[in-house]
Amino acid sequence: MELGNLLFGNSRGEYPLLNRNIVNCKNWRNLLDITNCDSYGCCNNESGEFDCELFTIRPYYWGEDEEEANKPNFVYKPINFTISWYKYPFRDSYMNQNLNDIQIKYIWSKCIKFIKNKGE
């Protein structure tokens, strides 16, 4: 855990997400594009987050509200899979389930498909 995260951060969880390069994977970038989120996971709307029936993406919370700070940055609702990161996507990240990169990318592909099908 990074020192700043240890002292001030919000990223906590049972399992570390060890491959920070997953932020560069095609599925994650496509998911951000299709949800109109920037590279920080910040959506272009009033709340700053993207939320639908299947998943939620929210940026790192910089404020003092502990309840808000404890919310994960990514949630896949069908299996309650969460990822929390420190300041920037996948920096010092933690998951609540021990999934590998392939499983995570598959979840993102399901999210992309869900949004695309919803628009039809």
**Rounded distance between C-alpha atoms, residue 91 and residue 56, angstroms:** 18
Question: Does the pLDDT of residue 5 top 70, yes or no?
Answer: no
pLDDT of 21: 82
| pTM (two decimals) | 0.87
At 13, the pLDDT band (50, 70, 90 cuts) reads low
Instruction: Tell me the average pLDDT across 26-36.
Output: 94
**Rounded distance between C-alpha atoms, residue 81 and residue 96, angstroms:** 6
Instruction: Tell me the average pLDDT across 73-93.
Output: 93
Indicate the average pLDDT of the chain.
Answer: 87
Using a pLDDT cut of 90, give the percent of the chain over it.
54
Kind of pairing between the strands at 50-51 and 55-57? antiparallel
